Amino acid sequence: MARGKVSKADVGHARKLGLDPDRLLRIREVIEADTTQGLYDGAVFIVARHGEIVLHEAVGHTDLAKKRAARKDDVFFIMSLTKQMTTVRVLMDIEAGKFTLTTPIREILPEFGIKGKQNITVGHVLTHRTGLNTEIPFTLPVDKLGNIEAVVACLSNERVLFMPGTIVTYNPTTAHALVAAMVQRLDAKKRSFRRILAEDVFAPLGMKDTALGLPDRLKKRLVPVVVRDKTRGIFDPDLIEALNYIAAEDTEMPSGGGVSTAHDVFLFAEMLRRGGELNGRRLLSPETVILATTNQTGDQPNHLMDYMREMYGWPEIPAFLGLTFFLRGEGVFPTPLGINTSPDTFAGLGAGSTMFWVDPERDLTYVFLSAGLMEEGKSFLRHQRLSDMVVAAVVD
């Protein structure tokens, strides 16, 4: 689709898939208006139905300082979408019988089992109910965030702040290093975790432009991390922008250090939409995908969002977490998944910038990667508005 018009081929394809082409065009127009206002710099996004891409657009700039226009093959830091990719590999080990959701972390990482952490399980990590500090450990230098063993060593010296399993507090930066380290230590080939993801997840799905860390081959297309909105929220802007300097070929941040393109993220979402399989390569069973995308936290709130509730006057909002995946759930409240997506819609969400979701009821998929990060609460509302526009394009 070109700006301001829809080709005959696009119109026919959209209508065949039960989508209104004019309503799809509105999405691009709203994103263009956002970037013109300076809310963020640009975005690459995809809308697909029944596995067929009907809209794949690049809008605005992905390096505003250099006046570089957004391109469909731009490589973004995908932030916490990395968590869902890490989780898929963890679930593959569970299906292989190496451990279970109820396995205590200390059984594989013995050094972790001190200071009240003896009974923290894999399931606690994947549902953000470890009871650990959600911030970067005080003893961990920023330049060690990409070293899984260094992160594990620091987390092992932490004490629990809450009884494991009792409170949901999203852990943005470090907890997934624990389950990644478990996979790594049990790997028969003794591979690094970045190689495990590359060979066991990315390659089978054809995700050629995705990596944990930043390979040299992707640097020319990389979108720099720039925090456009300096409002202080969950993340310190300087810490987020440090990704530009600490990301390298061997950087391993299983919680948020991946890079990818919109199309590669779509391939990952497509595997999940299809119940764990894509192009004849099965990563997970359908039952495991259902488990991972089913509410595991009940009506418990996500306490990391407490600051947003106070800043914006929002009500208490259920966490609605599966195994790392965000879920729509039910109710009317601020949600990046949109008010009108179906309750079973599942998603990944990355700091002030990235998201994907799959609405199983409508067989609808959406991917959005943006440049110029927003404060998380404002980004939530941006995602909500655009997500509802995507659903509003479904007319059949």
Q: Which pLDDT value is given to residue 5? A: 53
pLDDT (tens digit, 0 to 9) for every residue of the chain, 396 residues total?
444 455 555 788 999 999 999 999 999 999 999 999 999 999 999 999 999 999 999 999 999 999 999 999 999 999 999 999 999 999 999 999 999 999 999 999 999 999 999 999 999 999 999 999 998 888 898 889 999 999 999 999 999 999 999 999 999 999 999 999 999 999 999 999 999 999 999 999 999 999 999 999 999 999 999 999 877 777 788 888 999 999 999 999 999 999 999 999 999 999 999 999 999 999 999 999 999 999 999 999 999 999 999 999 999 999 999 999 999 999 999 999 999 999 999 999 999 999 999 999 999 999 999 999 999 999 999 999 999 999 999 999
CB-based burial, 184-208: b 16+ in 10 Å, e otherwise: beebeeeeebbbbbbebbbebbebe
- State how far the alpha carbon of 319 is from the alpha carbons of 45, 84, 297, 299, 323, in Å: 25, 16, 7, 7, 12
Residue 46 to residues 158, 170, 236, 295, 326: CA-CA distances in angstroms? 41, 27, 29, 26, 19
The model's pTM is 0.96
pLDDT at 142: 87
Query: How many other C-beta atoms can be found within 10 angstroms of the C-beta atom of residue 115?
Result: 11
- Closest by CA to 385, choosing from 78, 49, 40, is 40
The DSSP string of 56-100 is EEEEEEEEGGGTEEP-TT-BEEEETHHHHHHHHHHHHHHHTTS--
CB 262 within 8 A of CB 72: yes
Which one, of 12, 6, 9, 40, lies nearest residue 24 by Cα?
A: 6
Q: Which residues pair with 373 in a beta bridge?
A: 227
pLDDT, residue 9, reads: 56
pLDDT attached to residue 26: 96
Q: Which residues contact 144 (CB under 8 A, 6 or more apart)?
A: 150, 151, 154
